[in-house]
Structures are given as C-alpha cells and as structure tokens.
Amino acid sequence: MKLVAAAKVRRAQDAVVATRPFSETLQSVFGGLIERLGADSLDLPLLTSREVKTATLVVVTGDRGLCGGYNNFIIKKAEKRIEDLQAQGIKVEIITVGKKGTVFMNRYRKDLVVATYECGQNPSSVEATAISNTLLNRFLGDNTDTVEFVYTRFVSLIASTPSSRTLLPCSATGIETQEDEIFQLTSKDGDFSVEKTVIPAAEPQDFPSEMIFEQDPAQIINSMLPLYLNGQVLRMMQEAVASELAARMQAMQSASDNASDLEKNLSQQYNRARQAAVTQEILEIVSGAQALEE
C-alpha cells in the first residue's frame, strides 16, 4: 500500500510540473499588462473588494479514508472558520470537494451546502473548471462577497498543513509577484524523501509603449482572470491530493510497523510460554526420577 501511494504521489507531482509552463506564461503576460496599465487604474469585478456579508468556503477533503487524520484535520479547520465567520455576523455557504467532506457537511451543516464535487486521485482541468465556474457565477452574481479555499497545503511526506486561502476577490499585485514551490518525491538510501524547489515569480513580459492592442488591455486582463482562477483551483486540488497520498503513505507505513511489532511481541510471548512448558515438563520428569530412586 505504501508503494502504491508513492507511485500516485509521483503522478500527482508530475501533473503539477506539467501545468507549470502555462502558469508561468499567464503570470508573465499578466505582470506585463499590470506594468503597462498600473494596478491602481484597474476597475474589474474580480478585483473589486466589497463589504463581506456572505462568504463561500470551498472545503477540499479526500474521497477515501486510511490516511490518518488527514480528513479530520481539514474538517476541523473548516468548522473553526465557519464559527469565526458566523461570530462576525457573516452568512456562510459551503462547497465541498471530496466525499468525506460532503458526507460530514451534509450530516451536520446541510443547510449551508450549496454544491458538492468529487475529488479523485488525479484532478483534471475539467473538474477545476466546473468548480471555478460555480465560484465565478456566485461571485459575479452577488450571491457571495468572498471565496475562501480550505485545503491541505503540502509541506513534506511527514507534514501537511490545513490552510485557508482567499481566492476571490483577486489581488492584482499578488498575481504577478507570487512565487511557486515544486516538490519532487525521490528515493535516497532506500527511503523516500522530498526535494523542495522554490521557483521565483515569472518576469513580466515586456510590452513596448508603442504597441497597440486590438482590445482594451483591461478587457484582456478581465478575460485572463478566469484562467488564473481555474489554474489556482487545479493547483490547490493537486496539492490536497498529494497531501492525502503522503498521509496515506505514512498511515500504511505505521500500520506495517505496528503489524511487525505485534508479530514480534506475539512470537516472544509464544516462545516464552513454550519454554515455560518445556521447563515444567523437565522438572516433572526429574522429580519423578528422584522419587523412584528414593
């Protein structure tokens, strides 16, 4: 089971690396347009902050168990965030991604759930697009004022952090300056390990001042923001899946270690009991022989 989970982790990290060129290009073009127009001059719906009366939480969990406390930790994180928002008088909506979160929220927070999605072992752009379209429709339709993602951020094979990240409204100055991290699962001295690579933000693309755009650059940015949102949703789903698989690797390793310890302890107890029985039989034979001699 540990080796199976490790193979799935490798596939998950390969998927993250495969989407990196598109993300870099998008970030570069976006940064160039921001430099050309200036962040303060942008007046776009997805970049506009407003008074928060309704908040949408997207809770990302796994579809299966046998992964330690992975699902419990993220559900507790979501519950804490729901209580904090409600204490501030903010209405909360929930969108669940993953069967475990869906089952829990439908049981205890059914009145808050507005949509549910599954999260398989290999998230695709199709699934991410469906989720991002729902978020865009609710935000642009004034059904919600902010969207937060509650997911598990991958740190290492033995550590992952339940995190909350605001996805909408977007921040123009945060997109073009955002760094990225890539984790590679490797083997060293017969053990699994993770190599972390920090990738700096892509350099803004240079648009000459004499360049004439067929469309207004603000409209170009407005059309790029859904692509950026879709990429971020896919990335967070991939990171959550990688965290789940890493947690399953550790759970399977712990189960194997516990089974080995149990086998060792039972063998020791059996050997001790057998040795005691043999010793008792020898004592009985010796005592019988001494009795006959007397």
Catalytic residue numbers read 67
Task: Establish how many alpha carbons lie within 13 A of residue 116's alpha carbon, considering only the half-sphere containing its beta carbon.
Answer: 18
CB within 8 Å of 126: residues ≥ 6 apart = none
Q: How far apart are CA 77 and CA 260, in angstroms?
A: 34
The CA–CA distances, whole Å, from 262 to 228, 229, 252, 253, 257 equal 51, 49, 15, 14, 9
Strand partners for 184: 195
Measured in degrees and rounded to the nearest 5, phi and psi for residue 49 equal -85, 145
| Cβ atoms of 218 and 44 closer than 8 Å | yes
CB within 8 Å of 112: residues ≥ 6 apart = 82, 92, 93, 94, 105
Q: How far apart are CA 185 and CA 282, in angstroms?
A: 58
Beta strands per DSSP E along the chain: 54-60, 91-97, 113-117, 146-156, 159-168, 180-188, 191-199
Q: How far apart are CA 102 and CA 123, in angstroms?
A: 17
